[in-house]
Amino acid sequence: MEKEIKIALFAPASSPSVRKYQEGIKILKKNRISFKSFVEVSGSLPSLKAKLFYEIITSKEYKFIWSARGGFGSIKLIPYLEKIFVQNKKREIYSTLIGFSDITALHLYFYKKFKKPGIHAPMIVNLPDLSESALENLLEVILKNKEVVLEGKTYQEGEAEDILLGGNLTTLASLCGTSYIPSEKSLILVIEDINEKEYRLERAFLQTIFTIGTKNIKGIVVGNLGKVDPLKFLKRVEEFLPKKIPVGYAFSLGHIKDNFPFIIGQKTYLFVKNNKAKLFQKNFIF
C-alpha cells in the first residue's frame, strides 16, 4: 500500500534548477519520505502561486510544505495570500512551512497572522550540499520531532527565554514598515545572510532593531553572514545593541553546509555564559 502523502513540495518564487531539484528528491526517496510535488518547472504568476499555496497549506492532507528553493519572489505571494485568507475568513492553517533565506518573509507572515511556527531549514535544492550531520539532524527534527540544540560563540553574556523570530536579515528588513512583520513586545532575534556587503547588513540590522524596538529584544542569535565576519559585524553595531541581553554568534545556521534547523515562532532558551553560547528548543508537535 502506498504511504500517505504528508509533505508537499512547492516553489514560492521562481522554479528551481531541474538537476538540483531532482538530486534533492533522490535524498527524500532514499530516506523513504513520502511527498507530492507541486513544483512547476515553467513557473507561474505570484497570484496563481498564492492560490495554490493557499490550497496546500489549508489542506489537512499535508503535515509539511517544503520549499523547493528560496528566491525574492517569495514575498510577492503575501498580499495575494492575505486577500485569499480574508475572503475565505480562514483562521487556521495545517501545514508547517520548511525553508530559509527569502522564505523568512512567509515564515514571519504566517506567525504574525496565525501564530504558526515554521522550520528554518534548507530547501530541497540544498539537501545534496549539506554535511552528513546537518542532514541527519534536519530529518530527525522533521520526522522524529527532535529537540533543537545549537551552539555558537559568546559576544555578550546573558540568559533569556522567549519566542525566537527572524531569519534572513535583508528579507526581515524588507518587511519593516509593513503590516506583515510580527509586532511582539518580547522576542529573541535571529539573523543570517549571504552575498551582502557589510554596510548593507549594518543598515538592514539597524532598520530591523529600530522597527522592533531595542527594548523588545531579549537576546540576539547571529548565524553565518556570508563573507562578512559576524564578530566584526557585531563590533560595528555594538553601540546600538540592547545592553544586558545574551548575544551569541557563529551559530551553525544559514547558507553553509552545516545549516542546522530551528523553529521560528517557538519558545527558545538562549544561554550565553562562560565563553559558551547555546540555543535550545523543546520538541514541538507540528
Return all residues near 163 (Cβ < 8 A) that are at least 6 apart. 184, 186, 187, 188, 265, 266, 267, 268
What is the residue type of 3?
K
Domain residue ranges of the chain, discontinuous segments joined by +: 7-129, 148-281
CA 237-241-247 angle, 5° bins: 100
Averaged pLDDT, groups of 10, the chain, 286 residues long: 72 93 97 92 84 94 95 95 92 94 98 96 98 97 93 97 98 96 96 96 98 97 97 97 96 97 97 95 77
Task: Extract the C-alpha cell encoding 62.
Answer: 499535508
| Whole-Å CA distances, 6 to 14, 93, 251 | 23, 14, 30
Superfamily per CATH, domain 7-129: Murein tetrapeptidase LD-carboxypeptidase, N-terminal domain (3.40.50.10740)
Taking the whole predicted model, whether its pTM rises above 0.85 is answered as yes
Max Cα distance, the chain (Å): 61
Q: What is the pLDDT of residue 1?
A: 33
pLDDT computed for residue 76 by the predictor: 96
CATH of 148-281, picked from 3.50.30.60, 3.30.565.10, 3.40.50.10210, 3.40.50.970, is: 3.50.30.60
pLDDT of residue 259: 98
